[in-house]
């Protein structure tokens, strides 16, 4: 870890946190600046960033084209309401629909808000066919966000407490059980919503066979087939959308996270009849689709479209997965993922690995109960990958030694 210049706030100042509503267990680091996949904290240390702001900072930190676009747009116009349209948002709508093959887009500010909009769209679609066609089927172990309806859609019991009554009309299917899904997709179902790879739920890969079968059943039963690509989208898996890689064509897809490289944004994309469902007065947002976020997203999209960029994401993801597999570490159960969305199943509490990694200068995430999650910026270099993997190996060994697993495995 390299030393950086000292700054005003020290890590001790995190005690100032008592002024925040106590919703987060934080790392204890006060971050100051970044460059590429490196972050610099006020403790004077450099960290390899394999979190990318939970899959948000797709172009890493301080990406010159992104910084310049934001600065230039800020000097022209930061915000107007959706009573008006601006050049960056028109351009983004055009380029994003062209790049993804969807017909239309609605811009908002976050993943949960994108899903909320998608749920409204599918409910209106269903009710136009039959007033009882309003059930939304999601998957167990899914994660769809933190609003009341998004936690309802989330197929994990731990989210279904304290905040009831929850939104009615959600049912949860067991991933990869085609027969069970066949029984659940009845006439009252208006949509089936899935993450192509379940992120927060544990980097769980849903089988292509199951998703293809689900798509077919949805088509046959006039049910909208909808992807939550908030985490998997915008290059993360080596394609603009993961569904492309899986040969799926959802009617609606929600995206957010990496879309504007760190500037808050969300969107849902729709095609065919689904793109015509929402009409004036049905939905809206104050900030969504503003010129600042749109300018940032245009830079991200143009980088993703550069020849070879997405192939590199795939290659770097394979390299990182191969390195981790090559450890044959006794506390590693498996290494899963697609592109630069990687889950390392571990036989210990993954938080212990994350905390050990931080002391070796590497920032990681957890997912589910047994998975360490790696979401490096898409511009991560081979050097970052080599050094990050080496730090992960040290962290795994620390945890292995500390928990005395020598006798257990």
Query: By C-beta, is 23 or 279 nearer to ligand PLP?
Result: 23
User: What backbone phi and psi angles, to 5 degrees, belong to 292?
Assistant: -65, -55
CB burial of 259-292 (b: ≥16 within 10 Å; e: otherwise) equals: bbbbbbbbbbbbbeebbebbeeeebebebbbbbb
Query: By C-beta, is 43 or 195 nearer to ligand PLP?
Result: 195
Evaluate whether 1 touches 47 at the Cβ level (below 8 Å). Answer: yes
**Euclidean distance between CA atoms 344 and 367, whole angstroms:** 9
Strand 189-194 versus strand 135-139 pairing type: parallel
**Does 231 engage in binding with ligand PLP (CB under 6 A)?**
yes
- By CB neighbour count within 10 A (0-12 exposed, 13-18 middle, 19+ buried), where does 83 fall? exposed
Q: Please report, in angstroms and rounded to a whole number, the separation of the first and last CA atoms in the chain.
A: 32
Among the listed residues 110, 141, 149, 152, the single contact to ligand PLP using CB under 6 A? 110
Query: By C-beta, is 196 or 345 nearer to ligand PLP?
Result: 196
**Does 195 engage in binding with ligand PLP (CB under 6 A)?**
yes
Query: By C-beta, is 34 or 155 nearer to ligand PLP?
Result: 155
Query: By C-beta, is 150 or 396 nearer to ligand PLP?
Result: 150
**Does 237 engage in binding with ligand PLP (CB under 6 A)?**
no
**CA–CA distances in Å: residue 151 to residues 11, 157, 162, 163, 257:** 33, 10, 11, 9, 18
Evaluate whether 256 touches 111 at the Cβ level (below 8 Å). Answer: yes
Query: By C-beta, is 60 or 145 nearer to ligand PLP?
Result: 145
From the CB of 307, what's the least distance to ligand PLP, in Å? 29
**Does 300 engage in binding with ligand PLP (CB under 6 A)?**
no
Q: Find the helix or strand (DSSP H, E) in which 308 lies.
A: none
From the CB of 190, what's the least distance to ligand PLP, in Å? 19
**Euclidean distance between CA atoms 11 and 52, whole angstroms:** 20
Q: Which of 162, 153, 253, 144 is nearest to 200 (CA)?
A: 144
Site track for ligand PLP across 197-216, x = CB under 6 A: --xx----------------
Residue 388 CA, chain-centre distance (Å), reads 21
From the CB of 32, what's the least distance to ligand PLP, in Å? 24
Among the listed residues 30, 41, 51, 112, the single contact to ligand PLP using CB under 6 A? 112
Query: By C-beta, is 150 or 299 nearer to ligand PLP?
Result: 150
Stretch that binds ligand PLP, among 81-89, 137-145, 203-211, 337-345 (CB under 6 A): 137-145
Query: By C-beta, is 42 or 232 nearer to ligand PLP?
Result: 232
Q: Which residue is nearest to ligand PLP (CB)?
A: 111
**Does 52 engage in binding with ligand PLP (CB under 6 A)?**
no
From the CB of 128, what's the least distance to ligand PLP, in Å? 26
Site track for ligand PLP across 144-163, x = CB under 6 A: xx------------------
DSSP 306: S
Evaluate whether 235 touches 313 at the Cβ level (below 8 Å). Answer: yes
By CB under 6 A, what part of segment 321-360 binds ligand PLP? Answer: none
From the CB of 221, what's the least distance to ligand PLP, in Å? 24
DSSP 241: S
Stretch that binds ligand PLP, among 18-26, 90-98, 171-179, 193-201 (CB under 6 A): 193-201
Token pair listed for 247: 């040969």
Task: Count other Cβ atoms within 10 Å, centred on residue 226.
Answer: 28
Task: Count other Cβ atoms within 10 Å, centred on residue 404.
Answer: 8
Among the listed residues 96, 223, 230, 310, the single contact to ligand PLP using CB under 6 A? 230
**Euclidean distance between CA atoms 406 and 403, whole angstroms:** 8
Query: By C-beta, is 193 or 379 nearer to ligand PLP?
Result: 193
Residues that bind ligand PLP (CB under 6 A): 54, 110-112, 115, 143-145, 195, 199-200, 228, 230-231, 256
């Amino acid at each position: 870890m390299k030393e950086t210049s000292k700054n005003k706030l020290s890590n001790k100042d995190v005690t100032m946190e008592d002024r925040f509503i106590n919703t987060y267990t934080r790392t204890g680091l006060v971050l100051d600046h970044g460059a590429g996949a490196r972050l610099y904290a006020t403790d004077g240390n450099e960290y390899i960033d394999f979190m990318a702001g939970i899959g948000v900072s797709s172009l890493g930190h301080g990406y010159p084209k992104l910084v310049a676009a934001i600065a230039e747009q800020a000097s022209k116009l930061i915000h107007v309401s959706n009573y008006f349209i601006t050049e960056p948002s028109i351009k983004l709508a055009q380029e994003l629909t062209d790049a993804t093959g969807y017909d239309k887009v609605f811009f908002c500010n976050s993943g949960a808000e994108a899903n909320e909009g998608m749920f409204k769209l599918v409910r209106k679609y269903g009710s136009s066919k039959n007033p009882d066609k309003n059930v939304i089927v999601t998957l167990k172990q899914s994660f769809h966000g933190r609003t009341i309806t998004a936690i309802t859609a989330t197929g994990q019991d731990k989210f279904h407490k304290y905040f009831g009554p929850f939104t009615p009309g959600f049912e949860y299917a067991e991933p990869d059980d085609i027969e069970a899904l066949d029984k659940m997709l009845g006439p009252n179902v208006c949509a089936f919503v899935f993450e192509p790879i379940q992120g927060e739920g544990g980097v769980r890969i849903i089988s292509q066979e199951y998703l293809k079968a689900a798509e077919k059943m949805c088509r046959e039963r006039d049910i909208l087939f909808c992807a939550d690509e908030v985490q998997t989208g915008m290059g993360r898996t080596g394609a603009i959308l993961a569904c492309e890689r899986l040969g799926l064509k959802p009617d609606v897809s929600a995206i957010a996270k990496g879309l504007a490289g760190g500037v808050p944004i969300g969107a849902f994309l729709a095609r065919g009849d689904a793109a015509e469902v929402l009409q004036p007065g049905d939905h809206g947002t104050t900030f969504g689709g503003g010129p600042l976020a749109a300018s940032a997203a245009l830079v991200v999209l143009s980088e993703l479209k550069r020849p070879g960029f997405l192939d590199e994401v795939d290659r770097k993801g394979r390299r990182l997965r191969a390195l981790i597999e090559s450890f044959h570490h006794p506390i590693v159960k498996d290494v899963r993922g697609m592109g630069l969305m990687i889950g390392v199943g571990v036989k210990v509490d993954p938080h212990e690995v994350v905390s050990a990694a931080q002391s070796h200068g590497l920032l990681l995430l957890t997912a589910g109960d047994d998975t360490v999650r790696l979401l490096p910026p898409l511009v991560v270099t081979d050097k970052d990958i080599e050094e990050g993997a080496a730090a992960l190996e040290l962290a795994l060994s620390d945890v292995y030694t500390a928990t005395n697993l020598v006798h257990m495995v």
